Amino acid sequence: MLHERTGLTLGALCEGLDMRRQSVSQHLELLEAANLVTSVRDGRRKLHYLNPVPIHQIQSRWIWKFEEPQLAVLEGVKNRAEENAMTESSQASPVPDYIYTTYIMATAEQVWNALTDPDLTATFWGHAQVSDWTVGSRVEHVRADGSGIADAAGTVIEVDPPRRLSFGFDEPNQIDDSTSEQSLVTFEIESLRDIVKLTLTHSRFRSLSDREAVGQGWPAVLANLKTLLETGSVLPTAPWEFHADERAAQMAKHG
DSSP string, 87-145: -GGG-SSPPPPEEEEEEESS-HHHHHHHHH-HHHHHHHHSEEEE----TT-EEEEEETT
Give the total residue count for the chain. Answer: 255
Quote the pLDDT of residue 72: 61
Asked if 219 and 101 touch (Cβ cutoff 8 Å), the reply is no
Asked if 91 and 71 touch (Cβ cutoff 8 Å), the reply is no
**Mean pLDDT of all residues in 155-183:** 89
Quote the pLDDT of residue 232: 96
**Mean pLDDT of all residues in 72-85:** 61
Q: In the chain, where do the E strands start and end?
A: 37-42, 45-50, 98-104, 127-130, 138-143, 150-160, 164-168, 184-192, 195-203
Domains of the chain: 10-50 (no CATH), 95-252 (3.30.530.20)
pTM over 0.85: no
CA proximity to 2, closest of 29, 39, 30: 39
* pLDDT band with cut points at 50, 70 and 90 for residue 133: very high
pLDDT in tens, 170-184: 988 877 777 778 999
Give the list of residues 6+ apart from residue 72 with CB closer than 8 angstroms, or none: none
CA proximity to 184, closest of 81, 90, 98: 98
The span from the CA of 64 to the CA of 68, in Å, is 6
User: Is the pLDDT higher at 215 or at 88?
Assistant: 215
Q: Is 206 left (phi over 0), alpha (psi -120 to 50) or beta?
A: alpha
Quote the pLDDT of residue 167: 96
Quote the pLDDT of residue 89: 43
Please, what is the Cα angle at 177 between 171 and 183, to 5 degrees? 45
* pLDDT band with cut points at 50, 70 and 90 for residue 56: low
Most confident option among 33-37, 200-204, 242-246: 200-204
CA proximity to 157, closest of 29, 44, 57: 57
Give the list of residues 6+ apart from residue 126 with CB closer than 8 angstroms, or none: 143, 144, 238, 240
Angle between helices 108-116 and 208-231 (to 10 degrees): 120
